[in-house]
Amino acid sequence: MKVLNFGSLNLDYNYTVSHIVREGETTSASQVQVNLGGKGFNQSVALAKAGISIYHAGLVGEEGIDFYDTCQDVGIKTDFLKTVIGRCGHSIIQVDGSGQNSIILYGGANRKNTKEYVDEVLSNFSFGDVILLQNEISEVPYIIEQAFKKGMTIVLNPSPYDEVIEQCDLGKVSMFILNEIEGQQITGMTTPSTIVTALEASFPNAKIVLTLGEKGAIYHLGDDELYQPAFVVDVVDTTAAGDTFTGYFVAGLIKQYTVRDSLIKASKAAAIAVTKQGAAKSIPFMSEVELFEN
What does the binding site for ligand RIB look like in residue numbers (CB under 6 A)?
Answer: 10, 12, 37-39, 42, 91, 103, 105, 136, 239-240, 242-243, 279
Side-chain-side CA neighbours of residue 190 (13 Å) = 0
Q: Which is nearer to ligand RIB, 12 or 180 (CB)?
A: 12
For 42, phi then psi, to 5°, come to: -60, -40
Q: How far is the CB of 135 from ligand RIB (least distance, A)?
A: 10
C-alpha gyration radius of the chain: 18
Q: Which residue is nearest to ligand RIB (CB)?
A: 37
Q: How far is the CB of 98 from ligand RIB (least distance, A)?
A: 17
Which sign, positive or negative, has the C-alpha torsion 13, 16, 20, 23? Answer: negative
Q: Which is nearer to ligand RIB, 122 or 272 (CB)?
A: 272
Q: Which is nearer to ligand RIB, 152 or 240 (CB)?
A: 240
Q: How far is the CB of 50 from ligand RIB (least distance, A)?
A: 17
Q: How far is the CB of 93 from ligand RIB (least distance, A)?
A: 6
207: helix, strand or coil: strand
153 strand-pairing partners:
130
Q: Which is nearer to ligand RIB, 84 or 283 (CB)?
A: 283
| Nearest Cα residue to 47 out of 294, 206, 227, 284 | 284
281: helix, strand or coil: helix
Q: Which is nearer to ligand RIB, 10 or 153 (CB)?
A: 10
Report the distance separating Cα 110 and Cα 84, nearest Å: 10
Q: How far is the CB of 222 from ligand RIB (least distance, A)?
A: 29
Q: How far is the CB of 274 from ligand RIB (least distance, A)?
A: 12
Q: Which is nearer to ligand RIB, 122 or 155 (CB)?
A: 155
Report the distance separating Cα 290 and Cα 265, nearest Å: 8
Burial class (CB in 10 A: 0-12, 13-18, 19+), 128: exposed
Q: Which is nearer to ligand RIB, 59 or 105 (CB)?
A: 105
35 strand-pairing partners:
12
Q: What is the 3-state secondary structure (H, E, C) of 119-133?
A: HHHHCCCCCCCEEEE
Q: How far is the CB of 194 from ligand RIB (least distance, A)?
A: 25
Q: Which is nearer to ligand RIB, 146 or 157 (CB)?
A: 157
Contact 249, 263 (CB under 8 A): yes
Q: How far is the CB of 223 from ligand RIB (least distance, A)?
A: 32
Residues 158-181 as b/e (b if ≥16 CB within 10 A, e otherwise) read bbbbeebbeebebebbbbbbbbbe
> Degrees (nearest 5) of the Cα angle 48, 261, 172?
65
